[in-house]
Amino acid sequence: MKPIETKKEYQDYVDKKSPNSPIIKNCFNAFWVGGLICSIGQLIFDFCKFRGLDVQTSNTIVSIILIGIAAFLTGLNLFNKIGKFAGAGSLVPITGFANSIVSPAMEYKSEGYVMGVGGKMFTVAGPVLVFGISASIIVGIVYLIFNTASITLV
């Protein structure tokens, strides 16, 4: 091997030397856990529909129940184990959003309920709301521009 002189050479060398994640295994686990979580959601959805609720209400109930389950598992110190096993399989569904709100709330409890739990709750999930809500407003405004007929301004 040649001596490494530049940062570029070193970065390339390190990229080569660093172990890769077992991506096939990770993807497989992410697939079935993610699919399973969605299927549980579907089951709840079907049940709501079966009881005669409309689509929007059913979807909201699905979200709330899945978030509740994820929060409960996080509180039992189990969600990080699932997350470690499933990766994106538990991160990408709404359960990951719930976990990313509940875990800092628990972690920063030691800094008090107001500045700790309250203040730090959105350290991980905050960006999701910031970008999600901002994007929805932009989408709305763009929609309004392209459908000028519907402009009523309040």
CA dist 26 and 71 (Å) reads: 23
CA dist 141 and 3 (Å) reads: 57
Least gap, CB of 70 to other proteins (angstroms)? 8
- Range 20-34 burial, b when 16+ CB lie within 10 A, else e: eeeeeeeeebbeebb
Nearer residue to other proteins within complex by CB, 20 or 54 = 20
Least gap, CB of 150 to other proteins (angstroms)? 7
Nearer residue to other proteins within complex by CB, 17 or 54 = 17
Least gap, CB of 122 to other proteins (angstroms)? 9
**To 5 degrees, how large is the angle CA 132–CA 135–CA 136?**
85
